[in-house]
Structure 1
């Protein structure tokens, strides 16, 4: 189990990093920008003053000792590279007795005169008579480990690389010790502010935790939520609305299914008490089919709720639909109707789930069987365009109801047979397979349901169906079948 991260702690850490960065870097950068922009004419720091820190470190790093133990100034590779870019720069170093270290600039030493003997931490100067308006110099106490007591430099220039040297001055233990109390105080204040700021989110979480299957009608108060988390709260409320609607639909379905099952079971019990009745076998088969249909719809609905994805495979559309027509042939004959099947003009391979396709075709055949007048013909066509048509010649579907019939639990009236789930399940299955389903009017009266499927990229076999005129004898099955 992964450990959950605290949002409050994350905000505090980010705030601490931002504060440290601002205090250690923003102040010198702002100072530099003001001096470089010239917006403050009386500003004591000029842009070239920011180059002091870099040359100071280069000169201090160039102080070394000769074989005799004498401290000398021998330019390092870094100082040599700096002088190539800034040939006008001068530098010098002095020991604690005021003796000039060998390697110092004689011009700068002569110009300084006795200034090297002044005991000062830092001294800024400009050589009198120097025509260069940008020229400036400094005399500073040298680091104890350098072997010198004072370092001087003159006529240095600012470069963008000098900003790294300036930033390094602030990234020291001393700076951290100075800044730490202010940062800790700010973090303590930030912790209190963040805790209070996230209080509405914790309150919303408590409201969500109190909602269960029996209180799905409750909603989280959006009015008290801050603007930043209001979209999240609204999304949770919308999810609860959808969940409540789904649970209500499941309850309606359970009630309708129980009601629908009660009648055929009661009839079956009555028939079982009179097994010698002449119509016992016929009525028993009819009631068993009705119970089976309801159970299959229950299983299909449960499969949707478990989010089972369709296992699409490549299949021959004509063979798949023909198998379903063959399965329904005994029911059609027993009901006093006929059925015709027209295969596609050429082999058609579709990408679909076999169980889902059989469920959709079965639902449409059930509807057609109920709608087709006695003695009529149900037509089933599998087209080479990956479309299946189931045609009946009954009362048809009015134009205003052609969208409603695919809604769950919709029935035209209370006298209608079924639970109102067959077409809704068919629509869901067709869409899960990447297809579609719709209904149009049959020429001469009735309804024509069409299932659109996806064609497979697999090449179909060479063999195709031929056309054979259907048989029209009463109670027979007409088919246009070919041989493979």
Structure 2
């Protein structure tokens, strides 16, 4: 992709501005002041701008006969002009024969003796003319023209004369004058732009020198111009966020490696004693811990590439019930029970099913560790699209309720878990447009509350009841409804 040069554009804009200001500003202001009439004593009056059109029409009416003699034959445009301005008069003079036929006798008589004058142009007014606005102009024609000079008198300015007025500035003389001015303007613009963009080039060189090992460096703002300073500050802010993100990723990698090392070392120690009675139980526990860490790492990696959860309708009761059923064998194996209370009316929430499963699974895993042996973990889905997971353990103190969602934070360094589950759960809940909070369970313990967005889709009608999972006689799992 070919990029446009900012320096080139600035140079062109500056050059155009300088040329327009130098060559066009004065005549344009002069024209506007005279046409507006705001200064009655202005040297050039409004009607003075009308001479150029009349003289141009007369010049186009000049022809030569077969003998080469100049003659004046009014064109239809000149006749139309005279019909609009009946007081207008004109005359054309040949250098050798004098006035051409068709010229105004009054102007010929008034301008007799011009052969004794060497003048390129002449402004005049006929003596005794009662029209205060009447004025005349005589202008010599270029060499090779059919006449030496053309006189116009009694002209009036009209806005249709602007085309003829603009032709005054589009001549060879103007081009010769403008050419050096254009070159000088371009040189000045190049120097100004080069000097003005020097801080930006210096900042670009500083940015190019920054890599992953020097993200702590910042661009200098003190010497930056006021227009560039916001851009430099924005780049510094972006570098700060990038530095913080890289540092967090490095801390995350180090902590994750440390967390994986511990269960792997335990599994290796257990593998050295396969005849131990608790071998299978310990191995299953350690494998589950490694699996949890890997799943949390995958979830965190998914956030890092900004893969946002899908936003679809989810039957909240059915989705949570499926997760509870999957966790039931684990709960029973560890001597706990789990009770599920569906919503009184079917509830459809907006969110991502995978994200919801990850959040509920993390909270159930925490509740399993917190619930005392023989206890019941309560899972409730409320019609307001809220999921509650309650345990009856030690609970969470008020001081720890804000810190509990921080990555790698654990209340007890000797406890199980990586300290990632709640942080990931909070992030997932927020990405789905919901939230997660913690309150005290009635009678002691902690209740985690997931609040989601309720769908506006029509809610199905279905009966519901509390379901409790426990182990019946003979070791089989049993669903008990109440």
TM-score tier by shorter-chain length is 0.7 to 0.9
Partner of 2:462: 464
Give the direction of change, closer, same or farther, for the CA distance of 1:379–1:107 in structure 2 (3 Å limit): farther
Report the Cα distance in structure 1 between the residues aligned to 2:335 and 2:79, rounded to whole angstroms. Answer: 109
Paired residue secondary structure (1:274):
coil
Partner of 1:296: 295
Alignment of 1:51-450 (within 5 A): 51-63=50-62, 71-77=71-77, 79=78, 82-83=81-82, 85-96=84-95, 97-102=97-102, 104-106=103-105, 108-109=107-108, 111-113=110-112, 115=114, 120-142=119-141, 147-450=146-449
**Residue correspondences, number:** 477
Give the direction of change, closer, same or farther, for the CA distance of 1:479–1:52 in structure 2 (3 Å limit): farther
Give the direction of change, closer, same or farther, for the CA distance of 1:33–1:270 in structure 2 (3 Å limit): same
Report the Cα distance in structure 1 between the residues aligned to 2:409 and 2:56, rounded to whole angstroms. Answer: 86
Whether the 8 Å contact between 1:386 and 1:452 is mirrored in structure 2 is yes
Deviation at 1:426, TM superposition (A): 1.8
Report the Cα distance in structure 1 between the residues aligned to 2:314 and 2:276, rounded to whole angstroms. Answer: 45
Report the Cα distance in structure 1 between the residues aligned to 2:45 and 2:423, rounded to whole angstroms. Answer: 79
Deviation at 1:280, TM superposition (A): 1.3
* Range with bigger deviation, 266-275 or 407-416: 407-416
Alignment of 1:10-25 (within 5 A): 10-25=9-24
Whether the 8 Å contact between 1:98 and 1:117 is mirrored in structure 2 is no
Please give the per-residue CA displacement for 1:231-267, whole angstroms capped at 9, x wherever unaligned. Answer: 1111111111111111111111112111211211111
Report the Cα distance in structure 1 between the residues aligned to 2:386 and 2:66, rounded to whole angstroms. Answer: 99
Please give the per-residue CA displacement for 1:415-469, whole angstroms capped at 9, x wherever unaligned. Answer: 3433322222222222222333223333333333232333445444x44242256
Report the Cα distance in structure 2 between the residues aligned to 1:448 and 1:86, rounded to whole angstroms. Answer: 97
Whether the 8 Å contact between 2:122 and 2:139 is mirrored in structure 1 is yes
Whether the 8 Å contact between 2:342 and 2:466 is mirrored in structure 1 is no
* Range with bigger deviation, 423-432 or 144-153: 144-153
Partner of 2:44: 45
Paired residue secondary structure (2:314):
strand
Whether the 8 Å contact between 2:338 and 2:469 is mirrored in structure 1 is no
Please give the per-residue CA displacement for 1:279-335, whole angstroms capped at 9, x wherever unaligned. Answer: 111111111111111111111111122222323333322222221111111121122
Give the direction of change, closer, same or farther, for the CA distance of 1:370–1:468 in structure 2 (3 Å limit): closer
Deviation at 1:167, TM superposition (A): 3.0
Give the direction of change, closer, same or farther, for the CA distance of 1:176–1:282 in structure 2 (3 Å limit): same
Report the Cα distance in structure 1 between the residues aligned to 2:414 and 2:80, rounded to whole angstroms. Answer: 99
* Range with bigger deviation, 295-304 or 34-43: 34-43
Deviation at 1:338, TM superposition (A): 1.6
Give the direction of change, closer, same or farther, for the CA distance of 1:108–1:306 in structure 2 (3 Å limit): same
Give the direction of change, closer, same or farther, for the CA distance of 1:364–1:370 in structure 2 (3 Å limit): same
Whether the 8 Å contact between 2:99 and 2:108 is mirrored in structure 1 is no
* Range with bigger deviation, 65-74 or 325-334: 65-74
- In the alignment, structure 2 segments of 5+ residues that lack a partner are none
Deviation at 1:152, TM superposition (A): 2.0
Whether the 8 Å contact between 1:348 and 1:386 is mirrored in structure 2 is yes
Please give the per-residue CA displacement for 1:348-368, whole angstroms capped at 9, x wherever unaligned. Answer: 333322222221222222222
Give the direction of change, closer, same or farther, for the CA distance of 1:71–1:291 in structure 2 (3 Å limit): same
Report the Cα distance in structure 1 between the residues aligned to 2:317 and 2:442, rounded to whole angstroms. Answer: 24
Whether the 8 Å contact between 1:405 and 1:411 is mirrored in structure 2 is yes
Report the Cα distance in structure 2 between the residues aligned to 1:288 and 1:34, rounded to whole angstroms. Answer: 91
- In the alignment, structure 1 segments of 5+ residues that lack a partner are none
Whether the 8 Å contact between 1:435 and 1:453 is mirrored in structure 2 is yes
Whether the 8 Å contact between 1:73 and 1:93 is mirrored in structure 2 is no
Report the Cα distance in structure 2 between the residues aligned to 1:321 and 1:455, rounded to whole angstroms. Answer: 15
Give the direction of change, closer, same or farther, for the CA distance of 1:151–1:395 in structure 2 (3 Å limit): farther
Paired residue secondary structure (2:99):
coil
